[in-house]
Amino acid sequence: MIKYLFSICLITSLLCSCKSPEARMPESVQSGSFLKESAERNKKLNAKEQQQIEKIIANNPSIEYLASKSGFWYFYNTKIENDSLQPEIGDIVDFEFNVSNLQGQQIYGNTNKTYVMDKEELFTGLREGLKLMKPSERITFIFPSQKAFGYYGDDNKIGTNVPLICEVTLNTIIKNND
């Protein structure tokens, strides 16, 4: 009798354990709403910064502002007509710059920097702005936050999503012979 009872238990447990696995439902469903909300926030931020920059431009009608293809504005303080030398990838440039916010409060004073074009870290707007310059030119750039330090800031004096005004003087260009 014990053998019979043991056999029934064994057969029952084998039949119950051979059940096919069931799919589990996910604990949370990603609907893509985060990305949509983030895109909307960025559009609003961009529109707000655009208004601020347009106000600066409108308040200075004597200055001829140029819009770059990259999404920032600039004007020449000193323009060099004769020279055609502009920095290219790998060239070494020596430049001075100062950085302020849109209200004109200086963040970084006259800073001298030597930079290898597109080979070292430099925020996007300034990197693209240097490519427009010739030696001895002084240009004032207005960068929206996405062309400046964006969401992260510079971990020092520039916070998140801060548009910047940079006055840059390109001192020298040393051409790369490679």
Q: How many domains does the chain have?
A: 1
User: pLDDT digit string (tens) for 36-71?
Assistant: 888 899 899 999 999 999 999 999 999 999 999 999
Range of the domain at 109: 66-174
Quick check: is 60 in a domain? no
Backbone dihedral region for residue 57 (phi beyond 0: left; psi -120 to 50: alpha; all else: beta)? alpha
Quick check: is 169 in a domain? yes
Residue 83 pLDDT level (bands cut at 50, 70, 90): confident
Torsion angle of C-alpha atoms 75, 80, 86, 91, degrees rounded to 10: -100
Residue 153 pLDDT level (bands cut at 50, 70, 90): confident
Per-residue pLDDT at 38: 84
Rounded average pLDDT over 173-178: 84
Q: Could you tell me the CATH number of the domain that includes residue 72?
A: 3.10.50.40
Quick check: is 119 in a domain? yes
* pLDDT, mean over the chain: 87
